[in-house]
Amino acid sequence: MKKIIVLFLGCSILFGCGQKKQTVTTFPELDAWAAQCKACKPNSFGYPVNQFSALDEFYQWYIQSGMDTINLNNAGDPFADDSYTLNSHWFERQVIEFFAPYYGFDTANLWGIVTNSGTDGNNHGIYFGANVLKQQTGQLPIVYVSDEAHYSNMRLCDLQNLEVRLIKSDNMGRMIPEDLDRQLDPSRGCLIVYAMGSTLKGAIDDIPALNAVLDKYPQMAIYRHVDAALFGGYLPFTEHRNMIDSRELNYQSISVSGHKFFGIDSPSGLFITSRDIYDAQNNFNIAYLNNNMRMISCSRDAVQPVKFWWLIQKVGADGWKAQANAILANTDYLNAELERIHWPHMCNQYSNTVLFRRPNPELVKKYNLACGQDDNLGGDVAHIVVMQHVTPSAIDRFIADLETSQQ
């Protein structure tokens, strides 16, 4: 017993929050790592991951039902007839049909998948958009994205060999319409990626103003993809839901992460588009996969769609409404508390991301804060993303530490 305790203590030092792991060779060390993850969880403030996952009962069901002994795979199109039977396509399709109306898509003209991640959804948006525009114009488009957008968009354009024009953002992190106009080449197709929740500052691109710029060039072929990895989870469940409605904003596809707002406990996401966009993609005629391989990956996770389905039943729209309102109220509370102690900070409207002057390294580490640079807040900054587990009492703990660190 004593030996185990000694080992355990040794390992918790080994696995301190944010420390690099060393070689692990024994199962007690594995348990020590699990204990350390549990200890770090309540202070996980800097990254947009909901740590209040509602999947405990799902795992119980999964093992009780024997599903843990079956190797499932969602290769193929969830909206087509199946070639392979051990999949969860039926759930995947229901999940897409449940969420699509929240983004203003019509279920009669719909296609989508449960993705590996927000990045995977962006990859599909950029790939599908480039294909559509190439068909319309005979050449590849130019991609326009703001310099505050998530880096995955730039990476994916690099990967797909697409020309990118980085549009300047304003102090709040929003793409500047005048700079878009200045950099636009109306002789080529325009693939624009709108950020709905930029990574550092939580900015929402002013889509109506940017669309007004694009409207000046009626001859230009346009595809609009929305990168809404984080905000796409909660905005549809607030009174601001029209801000993400494709009927108002005229976008063709959207990517949302599943592990962020929805709290799925491993990377996943939603990619939603219309049937027309889907039909314009190459199907590669793979006979053994229902002749429909328009998505990028062959094998896809079959468990994530079932987790999404489970959450729709267990949490559902009412639960997500309550959570969305709570995180925005808690964001207001964090801002008010920073204001009270005169700590320089900023936060965009509709955002749950609070940027502030970077505290000392001990606090950055303790609360796993995400760091960046911003001249408006005096250089070194950090942010907190107010997810479901960043409750008022957790905020009180952080503010007390911040005040102490100032003394």
Ligand X SMILES: *Cc1c(COP(=O)(O)O)cnc(C)c1O
Residues in touch with ligand X (CB under 6 A):
48, 117-119, 150, 152, 195, 197, 199, 227, 229-230, 257, 267, 269
Query: Is the Cβ of residue 29 or residue 205 nearer to ligand X in the bound state?
Result: 205
Query: Is the Cβ of residue 220 or residue 370 nearer to ligand X in the bound state?
Result: 370
Query: Is the Cβ of residue 281 or residue 353 nearer to ligand X in the bound state?
Result: 353
Least Cβ distance, residue 234 to ligand X (angstroms): 12
CA atoms within 13 A on the CB side of 320: 25
Least Cβ distance, residue 321 to ligand X (angstroms): 21
Q: Where are the alpha helices (DSSP H) in 219-340?
A: 231-234, 246-249, 275-279, 303-314, 316-340
Find residue 106's DSSP bridge partners: none
Residue 44: name the closest of 390, 316, 296, 401 by CA: 390
| Pairwise CA distance, residues 147 & 110, whole Å | 31
49 φ/ψ angles, rounded to the nearest 5 degrees: -120, 125
Task: Give the N- to C-terminal CA distance of the chain in Å, as an integer.
Answer: 42
Per the CB < 8 A criterion, the answer to whether 218 and 171 are in contact is no
Query: Is the Cβ of residue 54 or residue 229 nearer to ligand X in the bound state?
Result: 229
Query: Is the Cβ of residue 236 or residue 269 nearer to ligand X in the bound state?
Result: 269
Query: Is the Cβ of residue 11 or residue 191 nearer to ligand X in the bound state?
Result: 191
Least Cβ distance, residue 187 to ligand X (angstroms): 29
Least Cβ distance, residue 212 to ligand X (angstroms): 23
Query: Is the Cβ of residue 93 or residue 225 nearer to ligand X in the bound state?
Result: 225
Least Cβ distance, residue 203 to ligand X (angstroms): 10
Name the burial class of residue 240, with classes exposed (0-12), middle (13-18) and buried (19+) by CB atoms within 10 angstroms of its CB.
middle
Name the burial class of residue 346, with classes exposed (0-12), middle (13-18) and buried (19+) by CB atoms within 10 angstroms of its CB.
buried
Name the burial class of residue 170, with classes exposed (0-12), middle (13-18) and buried (19+) by CB atoms within 10 angstroms of its CB.
middle
* Amino acid, res. 40: C
Q: Which residue is nearest to ligand X (CB)?
A: 118
Least Cβ distance, residue 201 to ligand X (angstroms): 11
Least Cβ distance, residue 223 to ligand X (angstroms): 18
